[in-house]
Amino acid sequence: MGTTLEELTIKHAAQLAEIQEQIGYAFRDRQLLQLALVHSSFAFERLDCGRHNETLEFLGDAVLDMAVGHLLFTRFPTMREGKLTRIRAALVNETSLAEIARSLALGKHLLLGKGEDSSNGREKASILSCAYEAMIGAMFLDGGYSAVHSSVQQTFDPLIDQQGEQLISADAKSKLQEVLQEQHNEGPQYILEAEEGPAHARMFTVSVQFHSQLLGSGRATSKKEAEQIAAKAALEVLRENKGLVG
């Protein structure tokens, strides 16, 4: 027999209190925060209702894009749209969000299935970034946009101050898209070349091509991260060849 979300929330009250202190926001409905930490692998194995954090992630992804965009628009009112887009993409990509999740120690509070837990799922960028976005979605449902905006400002303002112009080049996919659009009025194509390993420990190999010409490849535990690695390799190739592609 499985457990309920209410029982989990009571059981993990101390952990939830720790997270709320970290993020500077007190949930009125703590079950929303608990749900944000429930991975699908745990839900299928242990939770009666079968609910998990993926729908909250969907909502959080949209709200986070808006909140970070709002923050950047306010901080840089005269900056061009393309530059703002690149900075936002660098701030909210999977790798960056996983680092934020690590700084909040979300990994140790995640509820994972046995297989995912044994395969070091608490350190996977895809799972950590999902949990952070789900938490943002939960915060939006609990306290509205103002709560999210306040949290985003607290989290992302220091990142912008510390990293500055490095953020613009951090999102390799956006930069590669911009370079190829500018030169050829077309973007690259990402191809999934291989998907290996068991379901709880997948490895993805992705290539990036332009007019069937291989520009780079990447291998990682998520397709998004593999695409970023491939795009970074492609940018190196373009720099070495002075941007020339067939």
Q: Give binding residues as ranges.
A: 57, 133
Question: Which of 61, 94, 116, 171 is an active site residue?
Answer: 61
d(CA 36, CA 54): 8
61 is annotated as an active-site residue? yes
Contacts of 16 (CB under 8 A, 6+ apart): 9, 27, 30, 33, 34, 109
Annotated binding site for Mg(2+): 57, 133
133 is annotated as an active-site residue? yes
Which residue matches tokens 């709200």? 63
Question: Which of 94, 133, 225, 227 is an active site residue?
Answer: 133
Q: What is the 3-state secondary structure (H, E, C) of the chain?
A: CCECHHHHHHHCHHHHHHHHHHHCCCCCCHHHHHHHCECHHHHHHHECCCCCCHHHHHHHHHHHHHHHHHHHHHHCCCCCHHHHHHHHHHHCCHHHHHHHHHHCCHHHHCECCHHHHHCCHHHCHHHHHHHHHHHHHHHHHHHHHHHHHHHHHHHHHHHHHHHCCHHHHHCHHHHHHHHHHHHHCCCCEEEEEEEECCHHHCEEEEEEEECCEEEEEEEECCHHHHHHHHHHHHHHHHHHCCCCCC
Known catalytic residues?
A: 61, 133
